[in-house]
Every structure is written in structure tokens, then in C-alpha cells.
Amino acid sequence: MLPSREDTRQRIPVLLYHRIDTEVDAQWRSFCVSPQNFADQMRWLAHQGFTTIHLGQLLDYYQHGSPVPSNPCVITFDDGYFCNYSRAFPIMQRHGFHATVFLACNLLRYVPAKPTEERNSFMAWPEILQMQQAGWAFHSHGLDHRRMTELTRDELLAEIGISRQRLTARLGRPVDFFCYPFNQFNADVQKVVRACGYRGACGGPPFDENGPADDYAIGRTEILWGDSLEQFAFKMKHGLGYYFHVKKQLGKLKRRLLSV
Ligand SMILES: [Zn+2]
């Protein structure tokens, strides 16, 4: 028997990171968090009793009421930067946390030697497999990190379908989730993702306690360079930062007042 709706109501935060880096320039402000802030955020999660779960567990929970540990959250990284391995991995290991990384196959490093320049380097397979061994999950971000909404059907099938085959072969594990590069997708792209055998996909705004309205639009909360620990805690609770949360609440209020 499925648990009652009341039992299943909790918002599971899904966080989105890209790079963990000591310096940031204007172009990267949205895509970079300092190692110090990242360590503080992970320590805060541990102190609050959070446990990391994977996206499959998240969908099982909302679809079937499957049990999840108390205070669950999902942590994701996009693109597969080397700093996910060199900086985020050891920090998260300290707290027993794991994450999901969305890899763009053709961006990965093919030389296994450690990159001399860490900033814009990507991971190589030995690092990925070591993290997988430690409980991290790897899913698809396509082949070349292209905007899916601008592609022909054949190009979509290659980006979405072939990336899944290639990653499955290298990882030896099912690759069940896709992540839309640049957060851009439409119904046609979603259909191809589904047809290629994925169980779900990340994209769109964060969801509430009822879970994602669409398995192929699992919204995430992006953590930014300038986020204080208070802002991070607020985002964990509400999904959005102060500004967008207030804007959303005002929108709801306005709709309610107009419908009276
Ligand atoms: Zn990306």
C-alpha cells in the first residue's frame, strides 16, 4: 500500500554546482563557489543532519512513497570539471556525502595525468571511476554541451542517445538521467530523452513538497559565488534565494487576490 499523501510531503532540495574554485571572474559568477564556502556549506548540511541521496531515490519517493533517510538532499555538479574531483570530492568524503555529476562526454580529459591548469580542466576516467566506487553517480549532459532546443532530431538522438550508450559502457552502470545543457529544453527534447530510455532529466525551476511536476523537468537550486551561509540555508529550505522567493510569494498572493 502506498503511504498517504501526508506522509510523503517534504521538499527534497536538489542543489546545482559547477566549479569549486579559488578565483572567479564575472563570466563565472553563477558557476563557481569558493572551496571555503563549499566546505562551510557541506559542514552546515552535516550539522543539520542532512543525508545525500540519488535522483532515482528522489523519484521513487515522490512516485511510490519509497522510504528515504531523514533530511534527504541531492547534490549535483554539471559538466564534469576536474575541481569536482580535486576539491569537492575530498570535502564531501569527510561528511560521508556523495553527489551526481552530469558529464558531457566529449569534454572529458583523455590524458589521465593530472592537469597542470586546474581551472577549466575536466575529469578523466580514472577519477570518475574512483568517485563512482565511493558512491558518486554519473549521468549524461550530452556529447558536446550543445543547446538541445537548436538541434535537429538526428542531432538530438546523437547527443542524448549516443552519450547514454557511451557513458553506460564506460561506467558499467545504468545512466538513467539527462541534464539539459544551458537549462534549455522543450517538449520535443523531453520526448527524445524519454525515447532514449532515460528515467528523468534535470531542468527548470525548483519544485515544492509535491515533487517535480514532470520527471523530465526536475528543477534544481543553483548555489552561487556570492551566497552567504544564511542565503544557502534559506535556499535549502525554500528552493530559491531571498529575492526570487519573495517574488514568487507575491505572484501567488496576487493570483489569489485576483481570483477572489
Ligand atoms: Zn552544463
Which mean pLDDT values do the consecutive 10-residue runs of the chain (260 residues) have?
56 96 74 94 98 97 94 97 95 98 92 68 94 98 97 96 97 97 96 98 94 96 93 93 78 82
Q: For the residues of 152-203, what is the DSSP string, one character each? A: -HHHHIIIIIIHHHHHHHHHSS---EEE-GGG---HHHHHHHHHTT-SEEE-
Domain that holds residue 44: 5-259
Question: Residues near 167 by Cβ (< 8 Å), separated by ≥ 6?
Answer: 103, 105, 138, 139, 140, 175
Report how far ligand 1's centroid is from the alpha carbon of 254 (Å).
34
Q: Which three cell numbers stand for residue 18?
A: 559547477
Report how far ligand 1's centroid is from the alpha carbon of 236 (Å).
22
Contact 232, 41 (CB under 8 A): yes
Contact 189, 204 (CB under 8 A): no
Considering the entire predicted model, what is its pTM? 0.91
Q: What confidence score (pLDDT) does residue 2 get?
A: 47
Report how far ligand 1's centroid is from the alpha carbon of 31 (Å).
9
Q: What confidence score (pLDDT) does residue 85 get?
A: 95
In 3D space, the residue among 222, 151, 221, 137 whose CA is nearest the CA of residue 193 turns out to be: 151
Structural domain count of the chain: 1
Q: What confidence score (pLDDT) does residue 23 get?
A: 77
Q: What confidence score (pLDDT) does residue 9 get?
A: 82
Report how far ligand 1's centroid is from the alpha carbon of 149 (Å).
14
Report how far ligand 1's centroid is from the alpha carbon of 142 (Å).
9
Report how far ligand 1's centroid is from the alpha carbon of 141 (Å).
7
Question: Residues near 49 by Cβ (< 8 Å), separated by ≥ 6?
Answer: 70, 71
Report how far ligand 1's centroid is from the alpha carbon of 10 (Å).
28
Give the CATH number, domain containing residue 67. 3.20.20.370
